[in-house]
Amino acid sequence: MNEFNAWLTAKGIDPETVSAATKPVLQAQWRAEQAPAVPDPAKPAATQPAAQQVKVDSTSFDEKMAAIEAENTRIETIRSMVVEACQGALGNPDKLKQIRSLGQSAVEDTKTSVEGFQLALLRVDRFAGPIVMSGSSAQINDTVIEAAVCKMARLENLDKHYDDQTLNAVDKTFKGGLGLQDLMALCARRNGWRGASVRAALESKDFFRSAFGAGDNGYGLMAGDTGPSTYSLPNILGNIANKFLRVGFEAVDMAWRSIAATRSVNDFKTITTPTLTGALTYKKLAPSGEIKHGTLTELVYNNKADTYAIMLGIARTDLINDDLGALSTAGRRLGRGAATKINDIFWTVFLNNSTFFTSGNNNVSTGAGSALASAGLKAADRVFRIQTDQEGLPIGIQPRILLVPPTLWYTARELMNSSLNVGTTTANALLPSTNIFQGSYQVVTSPYMENSAYTGYSTAAWYLLADPADLPVIEVVFVNGKDTPTVDTGEPDFNQLGVAMRGYIDFGVALQEYRGGVRSAGS
């Protein structure tokens, strides 16, 4: 063994560093070199080089041994890096699992260099490492990632959407926020994708499938194999889009909410509601104690919810350009689209009311005295107040809303805010100076009321309405009470690259109690 160790030293190899796997190979070579040289019978012994008599292809041996040692060094270095990285991830089981899986793959793949593995570890630290908040460790989750994207997209009033702990996590981990490419890369890597270039990966469906956590990601892993540490890109994108959707939704005219009753329904079946003004006046209890039955009358109102939806996409070019504005804009547009559809259905139903507001229903005011002015308000208010129920008794409901088209909005505001009436007469008769209608009604207006695309539009007609909580003239129903649209995101069709988005809302609109309002023709 002393001779073998001396031979190793002569070769430049430290005997103490030889691994158990390498030692037999080296010993075999050492023995081969100690054996006597075999003469070549075709040549005289004197003509044979001395080196040939004692060595067997030493150059080939050196190359092989160098490769073996280099591979051993690579493996041992990677394993040492795995141990060190795991020590820094104590208390984070998801990250520990990811580092071990990454290290095992690097050891098995001879093409993975130490530098390449080190870069992979840096990515893990960037996207999956724990963050410290208030002296405790907190794992990055979907909500933190979502908030980081919303921050970069400049969502208004970010602090109203996320708590302080989440926003602190964003500031410490993602600094200025998170862009589209980084978001998709983060989710793809946590779902098993191991590529280096995100821009290049945007050309591949495998990258999108990994990012969305669906199917084989092209690296021999099923997306999601990394366990509970995976992020849900569809949920993250959907939540982000829904926040911008709400902004776009609420930016559109919402006058309908002021004059309509809203109601939750369980499904898409037609619902039937009896009139609220049935014969239900309490009766004096007879000495016998028998309570008389009231009646809900045969007059009923129907309503039914339907689904309205549309699709939109974030193109591959927007992803390559890392255009986060494409996501926020798509959300806003989907929100606006839902709001305009509700308005379209609502005002189509409300304005086409020629069989609802009629003299037979005693809920109209017509003629020259119906124009919006003090006299017109007096006429309409009287018509409203003398409405009766099925028993011929006053309904006892007060008008609360003055609904006017934009052309009359200024007049309505003057009537509701002025304390004095100013006027002249040819006879110079004295006029009352007090505006008795000051503050009497809530003024509501909508541009749909005088838009010529709708049957029943008018620049002169206006309405006095009851509070919809008391006696609604119109009702809007929403399935499960969801009165704002929803956005879902996912992969597009197979022949497309990008992100697909769809928005939908379930609602229905129908006229209800004709006694809850008066229409003034305005001329």
253 pLDDT tier (thresholds 50, 70, 90): very high
The least confident of 90-104, 152-166, 447-461 is 90-104
For residues 274-293, average pLDDT: 71
How confident is the model at residue 336, as a pLDDT?
Answer: 92
Q: Residues 516, 466: contact at Cβ < 8 Å? A: yes
428-457 pLDDT, tens digit each: 665 666 788 888 999 999 999 999 999 999
Share of the chain above pLDDT 90, in %: 30
The neighbouring-strand residues paired with 314 are 499
Higher-confidence residue: 290 or 495? 290
- Average pLDDT, whole number, for the chain? 79
354-369 pLDDT, tens digit each: 999 999 999 999 998 9
How confident is the model at residue 3, as a pLDDT?
Answer: 82
* pTM of the predicted protein model: 0.63
Q: Residues 247, 335: contact at Cβ < 8 Å? A: yes
How confident is the model at residue 345, as a pLDDT?
Answer: 97
Nearest of 327, 330, 363, 325 to residue 465 by alpha carbon: 363
Amino acid at 278: G
The least confident of 217-226, 277-286, 301-310, 418-427 is 217-226
Q: What is the DSSP letter of 40?
A: -
How confident is the model at residue 299, as a pLDDT?
Answer: 67
How confident is the model at residue 137, as a pLDDT?
Answer: 36
The 3-state DSSP class for residue 333 equals helix
310-322 pLDDT, tens digit each: 887 776 677 666 6
Dihedral angle sign, alpha carbons of residues 400, 406, 410, 411: negative
How confident is the model at residue 247, as a pLDDT?
Answer: 87
How confident is the model at residue 229, as a pLDDT?
Answer: 43
How confident is the model at residue 294, as a pLDDT?
Answer: 64
Higher-confidence residue: 424 or 488? 488
224 pLDDT tier (thresholds 50, 70, 90): very low
For residues 83-99, average pLDDT: 70
Q: How far apart are CA 144 and CA 420, in angstroms?
A: 57
Half-sphere exposure of 50 (CA within 13 A, CB side): 0
How confident is the model at residue 39, as a pLDDT?
Answer: 57
DSSP string, 136-193: EEE---HHHHHHHHHHHTT-TTHHHHS-HHHHHHHHHHTTT---HHHHHHHHHHHTT-
459-480 pLDDT, tens digit each: 999 999 999 999 999 999 999 9
How confident is the model at residue 132, as a pLDDT?
Answer: 34
For residues 107-117, average pLDDT: 84
Q: What is the DSSP letter of 402?
A: E
165-169, 268-272, 303-307: which has the highest mean pLDDT?
A: 303-307
Domain spans of the chain? Answer: 135-243, 244-282+296-423+434-523
